[in-house]
Amino acid sequence: MRRAHTVEQVRAAEASLMATLPEGTLMQRAATGLAVAIGNFVGRTYGVRVVLLVGSGDNGGDALYAGEKLARRGAHVVAVLLSDKVHAEGLQALRVAGGRVGAVEEIAGADLVVDGVVGIGGRPGLKPAALEAVRLAEQYRVPVVAVDIPSGVDVDSGDVPAPADGRAGYVRAALTVTFGTHKICHFVDPAASACGPVHRVDIGLELPPSPVEAMQAADVRALYPVPRGESDKYSRGVLGLMAGSRQYPGAAVIATAGALAGPLGMLRYVGPDAVAEAVRAAHPEIVAGEGRVQAWAVGSGLADELDLRKVRDLLDSEEPVVLDADGLKTLDDSGDHTNVLITPHAGELARLLDVDRATVEAERLKHARLAAEQYDVTVLLKGSTTVITAPDGRTRVNPTATPWLATAGSGDVLAGLCGALLAAGLDPLDAGSVGAYLHAAAAQLASEAGPITATAIARALPVATGQILY
């Protein structure tokens, strides 16, 4: 599991460690890791033209000391000072190593820009001088390596400032080198998209439990409900699926494909006879009609055939429920829904919270947590980085999705898969986390040859799952 901590947690851990070390040791550790990462990124050091954007904080000091180490290895290093109060010792070390102070115009001829403008204590957005430098790097297509975070993003939320004159007011990095632990902005869009790949340098911090996590393959292996020798179709999990309608029969077929690609023993389809026939034609393994189940997946493609009373009865029952698409209309903020997982996109979550879609997209983590608290559910907010958050605030993200997932029916596959994971015994947070990871992995696999459909994602799920498990 990759873990991301808040600014407050990182500051406390840094203070605790610095109290036990000689002054400046922590900055030297960070600067050494940064210099090595820059050398690896460029592929060489000697003769490389590096421009440091240096602000007033410790990130500016990290950049200066990293510049000193690069200069000693033959790089041509220029520091552009964006504050009157830069790290004096770091600047002196750079000069002694052969670096110099220069002008922002030198970015045009650089091979690399190092973003040491602001650190984790900075506010979102950039001041004019920094913004000019960042836009010069964009204009001349000079890659930027961000120190700890891309300057201008909100560290604890993943939010970014609204565009000014149609352009971003923050750094878009080709690489981010972070220290000690990941920060929330590394995992949560829109800021995560500005980070590029994130390289973590261990500087010895001792940290508390993290509020945001990102699943890795080993975590999926540990959680996935693999059948044992004594398993049967009932003990593996029986899912009830209420999806599709005469208007959208395909939604039921696709959701069934997603469910059957999970760890299920049996799927019971509940819906119109005509839709049941379509599902049976595509998936003869299913059982049509009601019966005992361990979980429900409800909502994909129900349209006007949504039975509000019936679904609300399910929400009040003991079996866990995945609510997707039209099923979200049945949700209210009364009662205990801690066994419910909802899978909205930004527009659907906006309707639940009575806000604009653009507001949700700009503040994804905030609104996923608001909905989880207000409705007492686990929220899986779909998007380029999927956010999964429980009512108690525990949060995981999946930043591995491919843009090819933006295709009709892919959400139906995900809902079916999450339902299968619930039926097999995972709780809503684990089911959503594992489901989002495997859904993205299947899409990556299916899209190796180009564009994909929801059906292709479902077909790729068993192979992607097997690659992760075995």
Q: Which residues are annotated as a binding site?
A: 58-62, 115, 119-125, 148, 151, 251, 301, 345, 382-386, 411-412
Candidates 428, 448, 416, 445; CA nearest to 261 is 416
Decide: 420 and 259 in contact? Cβ < 8 Å.
yes
CB 343 within 8 A of CB 416: no
Annotated binding-site residue numbers for AMP = 382-386, 411
In sequence order, what are the residues at sequence separation of 6 or more whose Cβ sits closer than 8 angstroms to the Cβ of residue 321? 295, 296, 297, 298, 314, 315, 339, 340, 341, 422
Question: In this structure, what is the dihedral angle of CA atoms 267, 314, 407, 185, given to the nearest 10 degrees?
Answer: -120
Q: Report residue 392 CA to chain centroid gap.
A: 19
Instruction: Assign 3-class secondary structure to the chain.
Output: CEEEECHHHHHHHHHHHHCCCCCCHHHHHHHHHHHHHHHHHHCCCCCCEEEEEECCCHHHHHHHHHHHHHHHCCCEEEEEECCCCCCHHHHHHHHHCCCEECCHHHHHHCCEEEEECCCCCCCCCCCHHHHHHHHHHHHCCCCEEEECCCCCCCCCCCCCCCCECCECCCCCCCEEEEECCEEHHHCCCCHHHHHCCEEEECCCCCCCCCCEEECCHHHHHHHCCCCCCCCCCCCCCEEEEECCCCCCHHHHHHHHHHHHCCCCCEEEECCCHHHHHHHHHHCCCCEECCCCCCEEEECCCCHHHCCHHHHHHHHCCCCCEEECHHHHHHCCCCCCCCCEEECCCHHHHHHHHCCCHHHHHHCHHHHHHHHHHHHCCEEEECCCCEEEECCCCCEEEECCCCHHHCCCCHHHHHHHHHHHHHHCCCCHHHHHHHHHHHHHHHHHHHHHHCCCCHHHHHHHHHHHHHHHHC
